Amino acid sequence: MTERLVACPICGKQTAFAPSNPHRPFCSARCRAIDLGQWASEGYKVPANDNTPDEGDYPHD
């Protein structure tokens, strides 16, 4: 069976997306560390909805 190839999210290199690649979906430990650093330094952010009601919108007891 052929291993599925995917592009590394950091460098774009084609890499195996299989248990044989311990860094998947990255091509190397270096790319994996770069990605972790981006998360740690808040280079990536998950978009948030501001659905929090204003303080005046809460019912009073």
The DSSP letter of residue 59 is P
> How many domains in the chain?
1
Q: Among residues of the chain, what percentage have pLDDT more than 70?
A: 82
Residue-number span of the structural domain to which 18 is assigned:
5-40
According to the model, what pLDDT value does residue 49 have?
A: 78
Report if residue 32 sits inside a domain: yes
Any domain includes 50: no
Is residue 9 situated within a structural domain?
A: yes
DSSP-derived secondary structure for 5-53: EEE-TTT--EEE-STT-TTTTSSSHHHHHHHHHHHHTT-S-------PP
59 domain residue, yes or no? no
15 annotated to bind ligand: no
- The 10s digit of each residue's pLDDT in 3-22 is 899 999 999 999 999 999 99
18 is in an annotated binding site: no
Assign residue 13 the CATH number of its domain. 3.30.50.10
For residue 31, say whether it is annotated as part of any ligand binding site.
yes
The reply to whether 23 falls in a domain is yes
Is 11 marked as a binding-site residue?
A: yes
Residue 48 lies in a domain: no
